[in-house]
Amino acid sequence: MKPEDFVSAVRRVWLANALDRYKRILTDTPRNPAADTVWQKQILPCWDTLDDRQRDGVLKFVRLAMVETISDMFVLVDNLGGFNEFRDKFHLVYGDECERVSGDLLDYFLAAEEDDPAEIKWQS
């Protein structure tokens, strides 16, 4: 697997698919104000008060947080930064041949984000 293919899969699964899943959850979850969960008592009621423009903004912010988190993970596996308690380098490998994938993942990820940013639109 080429690093570009891995980054493409991460963007598809962890960004696009996850964001679609979040939108479905926000829309399709039955409302039950009696349920004692943060989801039912705080998140869904707040979401329901937003207009489409505000929902777009929330989803863009969620995606931004996801991009930041993925970028932080790529910083770690590309050995561009890390945790003080880990002294050895990380290597992301793939397959029986242990083909190295890490090294330039962050660069590929950020380039893909710049070249093909997601258009996020709330569709009510």
pLDDT on residue 120: 57
Radius of gyration of the chain (CA): 18
Q: Domain ranges for the chain, please list them.
A: 3-115
For 108, the enclosing helix (H) or strand (E) is helix 105-115
pLDDT on residue 46: 94
pLDDT by residue for the chain (124 residues), tens only, comes to 889 999 999 998 888 888 889 889 898 989 887 787 888 889 999 999 999 999 999 999 999 999 999 999 999 989 888 777 777 888 888 888 888 888 899 999 999 998 887 665 556 4
> What is the rounded end-to-end Cα distance, in angstroms, of the chain?
38
Q: Is 0.85 topped by the overall pTM?
A: no
